[in-house]
Structure 1
Amino acid sequence: MAALAQARPYRDFLTPALHKRFLDASLYTILLCYCISIWMGDLDSYVWSWFPIGPAGIRTALLYVPALVVYVLRVAQWHVGRRNTDTPGHTFRKYAFRQSTIMTIVAYSLSAWFYSEVYVWSRPAKARLGFTDKGKDYERIRLNERPLFLRYMFVALAVVQAIIHLWHDYDRIELPALKPNSDREAAAKKEPATRPSQALSQKLKPMGMLALILSIFTSVAGSAFYFLGFRHFLWEHYYNVARRVVSLSRTRTQPVGLPPFFPLVLMFITEGTLLTLIWQFSNKAFDVYISQPPLKKDKPITSESKDPNGSLLNGLKAKKETVHAISLWELALITDRFPERRKTIYGELERKKAPTFEQVTNICLAEIRLLIERIGVALDPTYSSKIETDKNVPAPVSLVPRISPDLKEGAILGPNHAPTTRMEKFGAFTADMAKSHSSPQNAQNAYAREYLKKGQEKFAQGAKEAEVYGSNWLDRFVASPLGWPFRHNLRRTAAIIVTGAPYSRISPLCNAITTLTNLVVFSIKEDEFGRFQNVVPEIVRVFTAAIKKVDEYTAKLGTTPEEAGLQEVEQVRECLREGLERILRSFGEFLGGLGMGSGEVREAKKCVAKGPEMAVAR
């Protein structure tokens, strides 16, 4: 076989694909900004109010800047999978004081401030949003409080949106977890994939309703905070800066008022709704386009590489979790939908480290073994895998047989020498008298020892009572509505154990299971060299061990995943079961000749036939 070309890094293909999707999402966002620009402008002219080359186009470019800030934030902080923590309080402690949290608030505040500036400078004089208010002809110029209040409200809206962003984890990207279903093509024909533009249009109305609710809430809460605490603080700094720019009266150091107030609040609710809609739309467009399959012109993105499988292996070995998850998704799609590319995985036997199929198999099995280890540690904290044991335990070293016992450690008391002087003889005599007339029972009955013992008993009893009282009080507090942030629940615990932490690995795990299943099933017809069959027994053993571990954990819970609402556990187990079932249907009669014992095959068939309900009953 000819030597394989040097594989290009996986990012050389992933990054351009992500850039293309980012541009597609930006086009729809610019279209939304254009509609808002027309609304924000003067509708007096039938041409210049909407003509792109003019004020409407300039405002569109300026209004896209707040959306661009959100896009930059999402690009910097996106991750694959939902957050997995044991309690809501743990989520707060872990993520509230991170740099990413601060950057989220700063980014939304910057976006809101820029939008407010565009709006304020776009309003006519009758809106009374100028920097100063001339007042009457005989009055001096005074500083206008209305634009200060409006800018403050936009920043308050940014804080509310940032809290919503962090609470719902907008940085999460959900990648599909493909199942090893042989009827996927028929299902795909019945349910065609939704186009990104169609998905955005369907979500436009709910996003508008959410934007209106957030704007109304901010108008009420923000106004209360403004008049109760922030007004004089902001006005003082606002005035100190403004008096260096324009000549202001020294008697006007107090806020001048916001009349008419109701039109100003209505103005904020309208524009705040449009700004929040831009934020919501930008986040949704980013989610929809980034979560598109890793395909280009209906082919895997690595197809253009001189060594496609080598580039894909670089992605599978990447340390960055997002790259690893997307490359596993692409691998699952290749083994499922692209027969020609799938055949190359079997045929590339001359790679430096190992054949392509062997490297792919090891990477996918590592995901399943990680699941087994997580459940094993949860069931038994002293659990350690065979691989871990082999790495950590040193090999035995042959030593010369011992001919003497080990030396004793600590102080060694030797025999006393016989007393010689008169004083030494007198001391030995008195010591013998004391020993003969005393015993441990006499020491325990001494008054001092007795009082000390009673005090120790009372102290231990009091400490035990305090511990029981504190434990009961803590249990009552956690069970109350105020204790919700510190309350553990079964779904969170099971999700951490089965899908991993800090983020769920259900997508890489199920995609790895699907990849192995497809490679085993199609190897009967497509593996020309017959090398892949050597790893089939190990795949069956790992699948069987994983299902048994999941069933063991489910049995310990005493309930089924459906009854407890453990969708992640049920999804992982069903993925393993379907994969093992397909493998046994294709390779069941050949497993004995490949080195598997009849007991192992029977155990695998039991795992396929047995559901989680039977595991609980057992």
Structure 2
Amino acid sequence: MATLAIQPRPYRDFLTPALHSRFTDASLYTLFLCYLIAVWMGEWNDYLWSWFPLGPAGMRTLLLFIPSLLIYVLRVAQWHTGQRNTMSPSETFGKYTLRKATFATIVFYAASAWFYGEIYIYSRTPKARLLYTEPGKLHERIKLNERPVYLRCLFISLAVIQAIIHLWKDYDRIEIPVMKPKKERKEETSAATPPPRSTNPRQVLAEKVQTMATTAGTIALGTFFIGSVFYFIGLRQLIWKWHYWFARHLIALGKNSKPTGLPPFMSLALMFLSQGTLLALLWQFTNTAFNLYITQEPLKKAKPITSDSKDPNGSLLNGLKSKKADVKAIAFWELALITESFEDRRKTIYGELERKKAPTFKQVTDICLHEIKEINRRINQAMDPKYRHEDGDGKKVSPAPISLVPQISQPLRNGQIAGPVIVPETRMQKIESATSQIARAHSSPQNAQNAQARKYLKQGQEKFNQGAQQAESIWVVYSNKFASSPFGRPFRSCIRRTANGVINGTPYSRQSLIFNAITTLANLTVASLKEDEFGQFNTEVPEMVRVFTAAIKKIEEYMQGLQVPWTDVDCLARPEAERKKIPEVDVVVDALKAGLERILGAFNEFLGPMGMTRAEIQEAKKLVARSTVPEIQEVRR
């Protein structure tokens, strides 16, 4: 039993150096691409200095690395884990369009494109006709050159289009790999299982270069046409006016001047198409390299990154309790790797019983179960907006009672209120009362008018109902047509988005945390039969079974009651039996069943003596009787 008296270091002390190391590796490959672009950009008039790294090519390489470095800085500042979860494309647009991060993305790409364009323009010889001014003939005054102005506008247009693609496809998303619990686990040996090997990022980059080049060429070609249209239709005069006003303070120019023209235009177009493709390729390469290296396993020298800490599990617990979702996601990933592949480290989780607040296994179990319980909480809130979850003390949080003025009288009666009536006593009085009532009912002069009015009122009500039904049917027809059209697509409510947001969380999916939490609990439960020397971990097993069972039942109940919105035309076009098959939800249910199956397989015969009733055990077994593993499909947000 280990006595832990030292203060564990924060998890970021180990995560940050690991991310820096990966950033350096990604930068080296990006620098090599910058060197190739620098050689292509230079003048091939000397066999040695056109490629020698210590010459002009090396200087251009360092300068060209600055545009890619700006994108790296942008990615480091804005990366997040998990996909965006919103109810409709219009909600995504409204929620993410006016953020500071959106404007920062456009600014960083514009700065990157501008700097790249300046490097290219000042690397050209006078033959390219990209100088600031044109001397003209001897008898002519110096004129401003419009060709570099047009080229710079195209580079900025390329930056805006690339920024839109960046935001639309959510390049800031980092997909943390999930570890699914194994349904069948072979008997473990005493030797630690080697950790799974990651795909070599260098190999992946080499395989994707051709695809990235094709994408870059397409973006550059589209930018050339779109940017040229906007330039000649509306921006040319405005840009030239400001450019000429600024240049007059530097050069002796006339008071007024019109744009000087772009001939020869074909050479200028080829310049942008070649360099715009290379710039877009540099951006694509930078984003891909960043994604590949950031998603490498949290290992250092084939060991978990917290292994260098004096209190490894304490530092890991700090990461699991982090308020930053990105740090927490990586900490959960490391925990799942430890329970799956590092036996020596896994044993320490069972053995640290004197840790502050609670033993290590207890804290790990509670944190993982909390992620699963959050699924139930989100479902309860979706099904009942008045639902109040329990606080840390196990008490339900409910709204404060409202103080009302004490009631001092009886409430008013509803319906007809009649005055005092004299009750008949003798037989003649009773006959007289009955006769008078019949006479008042059938002999009143207003009866005929009232009957005629009721007839007209009934006919008007019927016509009103018919008109309302016709108006409703017309509204349904046109609203369905609008929802089915491309114009209505951004406003469609989708059952897939709704279910995914409720089960996996918003604003970003927590699916990686859920999967890694399930895998961790299943691995710890199975391994505890051999590795828990003090026999304390088994006290957590009944709670695990109950939480897993409740989560599976809650998800299935929610999916059964979930209705397909009338705007979800894609889902309504499918067969009714397939409308509620949501891949992102099905994989969570399957993971819960697989984890529960492993827990039941390890502690099946011990659950009764541990306090679980026969009904609870049978219910859990029925839930894991069938299981499916659908593939997750990409959802464009």
* Whole-Å separation in 1 of the counterparts to 2:606 and 2:30: 56
8 Å CA contact 1:554–1:612 kept in 2: the answer is no
Shift of 1:491: 2.0
8 Å CA contact 1:561–1:569 kept in 2: the answer is no
Partner SS for 2:272: helix
8 Å CA contact 1:562–1:570 kept in 2: the answer is no
Cα deviation per residue 1:116-155 (whole Å; 9 max; x = unaligned)? 0000000000000000001112211100000000000000
Q: What residue number does 1:399 align with?
A: none
Shift of 1:66: 0.6
* Whole-Å separation in 1 of the counterparts to 2:397 and 2:64: 58
Shift of 1:235: 0.2
* Whole-Å separation in 2 of the counterparts to 1:214 and 1:377: 44
Which one of the candidate residues 604, 611, 629 is aligned to 1:588? 604
* Whole-Å separation in 1 of the counterparts to 2:127 and 2:385: 72
8 Å CA contact 2:201–2:292 kept in 1: the answer is yes
* Whole-Å separation in 2 of the counterparts to 1:353 and 1:228: 69
Shift of 1:410: 8.7
Q: What residue number does 1:279 align with?
A: 283
1:232 and 2:237 aligned: yes
- The structure richer in helix per residue is 1
How many pairs are equivalent? Answer: 576
Letter in 2 for 1:239: Y
Q: What residue number does 1:150 align with?
A: 151
Q: What residue number does 1:433 align with?
A: none
Q: What residue number does 2:203 align with?
A: 198
Provide the aligned C-alpha RMSD in A.
Answer: 3.3
Q: What residue number does 2:424 align with?
A: none
Partner SS for 1:359: helix
Letter in 2 for 1:318: S
TM-score (structure 1 length as normaliser)? 0.86
Q: What residue number does 2:74 align with?
A: 73
Q: What residue number does 2:177 align with?
A: 176
1:315 and 2:331 aligned: no
Matches within 5 A, 1:176-575: 176-181=177-182, 182=184, 193-251=198-256, 253-385=257-389, 390-393=395-398, 407-408=408-409, 469-470=474-475, 472-556=477-561, 566-575=582-591
Change (3 A) 1:395 1:589: farther
Partner SS for 2:297: coil
Q: Sequence identity of aligned pairs in percent?
A: 56
Shift of 1:190: 13
Cα deviation per residue 1:238-275 (whole Å; 9 max; x = unaligned)? 00001111112335x11010000011011000000000
Cα deviation per residue 1:24-81 (whole Å; 9 max; x = unaligned)? 1000000000000000011111111111112111100110111011011111110000
Show structure 1 runs of 5+ residues with no match. 397-404, 412-436, 614-618
Shift of 1:480: 1.9
Cα deviation per residue 1:527-580 (whole Å; 9 max; x = unaligned)? 111111111000011111111222223434698997766221121111111111
Q: What residue number does 1:114 align with?
A: 115
Letter in 2 for 1:274: L
* Whole-Å separation in 2 of the counterparts to 1:408 and 1:274: 84
Shift of 1:390: 2.3
Change (3 A) 1:464 1:341: same
1:604 and 2:623 aligned: no
Shift of 1:352: 1.7
8 Å CA contact 1:561–1:567 kept in 2: the answer is no
Show structure 2 runs of 5+ residues with no match. 413-439, 441-445, 564-574, 630-637
Letter in 1 for 2:278: L
Shift of 1:350: 1.1
Q: What residue number does 2:134 align with?
A: 133
* Whole-Å separation in 2 of the counterparts to 1:542 and 1:134: 80
Shift of 1:349: 1.1
8 Å CA contact 1:544–1:604 kept in 2: the answer is yes
Partner SS for 2:396: helix
Partner SS for 1:89: helix
* Whole-Å separation in 1 of the counterparts to 2:116 and 2:399: 64
Cα deviation per residue 1:359-418 (whole Å; 9 max; x = unaligned)? 11111001101112223333454555566982325999xxxxxxxx9744899xxxxxxx
543-552 vs 277-286, greater mean Cα deviation:
543-552
TM-score (structure 2 length as normaliser)? 0.84
8 Å CA contact 1:365–1:512 kept in 2: the answer is yes
Q: What residue number does 1:430 align with?
A: none
* Whole-Å separation in 1 of the counterparts to 2:334 and 2:148: 52
Shift of 1:347: 1.0
Q: What residue number does 1:432 align with?
A: none
Shift of 1:474: 2.8
Shift of 1:472: 4.7
